[in-house]
Structure formats: structure tokens, C-alpha cells
Amino acid sequence: MNNNRFRSNQRYFTICIYTVFVIFAACIIFRLIFHWDDILKIIKHFLSSMSGFVVGILIAFIVNPLVDFIYEKILPGFFHVQEGKKSRMLAIALAYVVVLGAAAVCLIYIIPQIISSLTELSGKIPSMYTAFSGWLLNIAAEFEFLNNGIVHTLIENMYPKMMELSTVLASKIIPWMYSVSVAVIQWLITIVIAVVVSIYLLFDKQLIFCSVKRISYAFLPERRVDEMIGVVKKCNAIFTGYITAQALDALIVGILCFLLMTFLRLPYALLISVIVGVTNMIPYFGPYIGAVPGVCILAAIRLKYGIMFVVMIFVLQQFDGWILAPRILGDSTGLRPILILFAITLGGVYLGVFGLFLGVPVVAVLQYLLNLMIERRIMKKALRDRKCCEVLNNNDMKEYK
């Protein structure tokens, strides 16, 4: 009598598990594709409800390098404080004193001066246009080949554009900056929650990492978990290292620009220096993007100011490119120039301004992961080829014997 009872088979069971997983993943992918708008609404609603925690995670990620620097360098070196929970809490407190102090300086001193400069600049646009058009007419009178109506046509076409720019600055940008300031005050509760969350994350960072490692070791092979930890640490080092170094370089360039403009007595020193410093975080194109508004503003006031600023920014960028940036940045990304241009272009197209700043570190991380995957594939292939050669050699030896 045949026994038709079901017999368990590990191989078929594994195939069934993979099949169910693939079907489940396919259903999720199709639902994402055909209900993308609904998915985006759910994600936005979730992020808005968890905004305090999301912002807290971002703040912790930004402040973490400063906390580590104070914890590892400042406290042991200058205050001779031994490592421990109390010293880490002290490092977190000092880091937030620095960050909140910088934010207070920006809110109390820098932002009001920028708003005042923009307000003053919007009121001077008509007179700047008159001075600039007079300068063009004088040039046209000096050179006969320009005195054929082209300059007059150019001036007539520029007038409505300049008046429109003046109106936009006066009626939209300035009120928008004030509304942003009011919104920041309205978001005070969210900011307080975010700061508290970030403090807890920074203080319990090691505990969180240990918990994640325990869970990973419980469900994954030990060797695989160790490899994943190494990869995550390397990606974090690439990303945070580039952002920190680039921000420090931009800060130094902005401060030097402000000091030089103040020494040369150029107007709107703070406004133009902020633009130069922020745009300096964009590789290659940033210095030129930041210099254009300054040249236009200063040249419209007085041509001498524009020429002085061009010479100053040229010397400053040479100092940054040859001396400052190599010492601060070094080869932090390992990207070739063509890949940096690709990262800036792609980031700007898909993520706008944030893509210009974050495109390079993201591509650097992707390049590291791709190189790691290629190296592992090559190593596996070399090992497989070596084993095949050993088998063939053994067979040849057996036939020879």
C-alpha cells in the first residue's frame, strides 16, 4: 500500500517562500505605480505629523560631527575630561550652545541687515538704471559703431524689466522673508520638539547602534552584518566629511569676502558676502554664480566698485582653489571632474537648489558602493577561475599518472 502522506522538502519550501515574496513585492510595486498620487499624500501626511521627529533626526545628523569633535578633541585636549556619559552630555551641551548661538546671531544681526539691504536696494533700482543707461549712452557716443540705435533700443527694452524687478523686490521678496520669519516663530513648538529629539538621539547614539546591531545579528549572518556596518560607516564618512568640509570652506570664503569688501569700503558687503559664501558650496559653478549678482549690483552703483569686486573675487577664488580648498577638502569624494559636473547637473535638474548642494556627495556614495560591488564580483570571479584552474590541473595530473 502506497503511503501518500505529504513529505516536507526544504528546497520546495524555500522556492514557495521566494515566490510569495516576489508576488507580494510585485503587488506593492504595481500599487505604487498606479496610485502614486495617493501614496504621496499618505507620505506627506505622515511626514507632517512626524515633522518634529524628522527635523530632530536631521538636526542630530548635522550636529553630530561637532559633538564628536568636542567629545574627542576639545574636552580631552583642553579640559582633560575623561570619556563617559557626563563628558558626552557636556559635549552635546557645548555643541548646542555653539549652534544656537550662531542661529541667534543670524536672527538678530545678519538677517535684519540682509532685509535692510534688500529694501534699500529695491528703492535704488530706478536710480541705478538711470546711471547705467547714462554710462551706456556715453560709451555709444565715444564709439561710432555703437551709435546706431542699438544702445537706445537696449535701454528701452531694459526699462520695463528693471521696473518689474524693483516691484518684485519691494512687493514679494521682502514680505516673503518677513512671512518666513513669522512662520519660524509659529513653528517654535516643532523646533523645540526637534531639538529635544535630536539631543536624545545624540546622547543615546551608541545605545541605538547597539540595538540595531543586535537585531541584525539575530536575523542575518555575522559576516554579512560586519560588512554592512563597514559599508554604512564608510558612506557616512564620505557624505558627512564632504558636507562638513565644503560648509567650512564656504564659511571661510564668505567671511574673507566680507572683510575684504569692508576694507575696500564696497557697499552691501554683508548681502553680497552671504551670496558668495552660500554659492561657494556648489563646486565649479558656485563661485561664478555668487559673483554675478555682486558685480551687477556694484557696477550699477559705480563702475569702479564693480571692477574692484571682480579683481577681489578673482584673487579670493584663486586663494580658495589653490590653498584653502585643498587643505580643507583634499580628495574627500574621490570623484573625477566629469562626475562632479554630472552630479551637479543631475541634482539641479531633479532636486533644484538642494540638488546642486547634495548632488556631489550622493554621487560619491553611489560611486563607492558601485566600486565595492565591482571589486567583490571581480574577487568572486577570480576565485572561481582559480578553482577551475586547480580542478583542471588536478585532472591533468591524474591523466598523466
Per-residue pLDDT of the chain (401 residues; tens, 9 = 90+): 455 554 555 666 677 777 888 888 888 887 777 777 777 788 777 777 777 788 888 888 888 888 888 888 888 777 666 667 778 888 889 999 998 888 888 878 877 887 777 777 777 777 776 776 777 667 666 665 555 566 566 666 666 666 666 666 556 665 666 666 666 666 777 788 888 888 888 888 888 888 888 888 888 888 888 888 888 888 888 888 888 888 899 999 999 999 999 999 999 899 899 999 999 988 878 888 888 888 888 887 888 898 999 999 999 988 988 888 888 776 666 777 788 888 888 877 777 777 788 888 888 888 888 888 888 888 877 766 666 666 556 655 454 44
CB 300, CB 131: distance < 8 Å: yes
Cell triple for 360: 556631489
CB 81, CB 75: distance < 8 Å: yes
Alpha-carbon gap, residue 200 to 84, rounded angstroms: 16
Cell triple for 12: 520546495
106 alpha carbon, distance to own chain's centre: 20
Alpha-carbon gap, residue 175 to 167, rounded angstroms: 12
Structural domain contains residue 196: no
Amino acid identity of residue 225, one-letter, is V
CB 130, CB 158: distance < 8 Å: no
Q: What pLDDT sits at residue 314? A: 92
Alpha-carbon gap, residue 200 to 214, rounded angstroms: 20
Cell triple for 379: 574577487
Neighbours of 122 (CB within 10 A): 18
Amino acid identity of residue 71, one-letter, is Y
Question: Which among 68, 77, 177 is positioned nearest to 118, based on CA atoms?
Answer: 177
Question: Which among 59, 331, 364, 354 is positioned nearest to 238, based on CA atoms?
Answer: 364
For 40, the domain range is 13-49
Structural domain contains residue 197: no
Structural domain contains residue 358: yes
Helix (H, G, I), strand (E, B) or coil at 330: coil
Neighbours of 336 (CB within 10 A): 10
Residue that has been written with the C-alpha cell 557626563 in this structure = 86
Structural domain contains residue 33: yes
pTM of the model: 0.72
Structural domain contains residue 57: no
Structural domain contains residue 319: no
Q: What pLDDT sits at residue 254? A: 92
- Rg (C-alpha) for the chain, rounded Å, is 30
Q: What pLDDT sits at residue 397? A: 47
Alpha-carbon gap, residue 35 to 22, rounded angstroms: 20
Neighbours of 168 (CB within 10 A): 12
Q: Report in angstroms the alpha-carbon separations of 345 from 207, 219, 348, 351, 360.
A: 40, 40, 5, 10, 10
Structural domain total, the chain: 2
Alpha-carbon gap, residue 338 to 319, rounded angstroms: 23
CB 82, CB 76: distance < 8 Å: yes
Q: What pLDDT sits at residue 399? A: 47
Cell triple for 285: 559653478
Structural domain contains residue 353: yes
Alpha-carbon dihedral of residues 370, 372, 375, 381, nearest 10 degrees?
A: -80
Structural domain contains residue 206: no
Percentage helix, strand, coil for the chain under 3-state DSSP, each rounded to 5: 90, 0, 10
Q: What pLDDT sits at residue 303? A: 82
CB proximity list for 297: less than 8 A, separation 6 or greater: 121, 268, 272
DSSP 267: S
